[in-house]
Amino acid sequence: MKKEHVHSKTVTKAAKQALHKRGVSIDSIAKIVYQMQLPYNDNLTMEDCIYSIERVLMKREIQHAILVGVELDMLAEKKMLSEPLQSIVESDEPLFGVDETIAFGATLSYGSIGVTTFGHLDKNKIGIIRYLDTKKEGSGVNTFLDDLVAAIAASAASRLAHRERDIEESLTEKEIKDIDHEELIG
């Protein structure tokens, strides 16, 4: 018996809704992407950043990471994880590392720029990432979410850097669209 797959549009919608329900807007991520890429691209606009984030959010690895991470944060808020995992996730234990590992893994398909940007954002906690990381006790668990937002921003920044190079190399619109389509595979 063949199992039915969940349609990509359903997963994309669920991932975006998960971010929204947790108070993360595309605009808040775009501000981080803009800050990260503006030094390298004088013509960068917020619209470019938003579009890049939207493209990143279409990747299955990113979507799956969001769904798993947000679900674990919500289960920890409801105290529905087994001990000692409940205490580890709820307290955002510094040596836990699984939150960063999931987010880092989602970033890998965006190459070295994505990886190094993720590391920078994880260490420096810019914008909404800082807010999510420093929420007061009793106001929600964001152990996974702050790292996932960093992964989305890092991936979108890397994507923009590569698109800028494509433009510099005078690739045609069709060539750029083909690259855009290829990056969604996987």
Which tokens belong to 158? 């890397």
pLDDT of residue 80: 98
* Whole-angstrom distance, CA of residue 20 vs CA of residue 6: 21
**Residue 12 to residue 62: CA distance in whole angstroms:** 9
For residue 156, the model assigns a pLDDT of: 98
Spans of the chain below 70 pLDDT: 136-138, 166-173, 175-186
pLDDT of 17: 99
Smallest CA-to-CA distance from 156 within 27, 15, 67 is with: 27
> Would the pTM of this model clear 0.85, i.e. be above it?
yes
Predicted pLDDT of residue 138:
65
pLDDT at 1: 79
Quote the tokens at residue 117. 């940007």
* pLDDT at res. 167: 65
Per-residue tokens: 108: 């890998």
Domain 8-183 is of which CATH architecture?
Orthogonal Bundle (1.10)
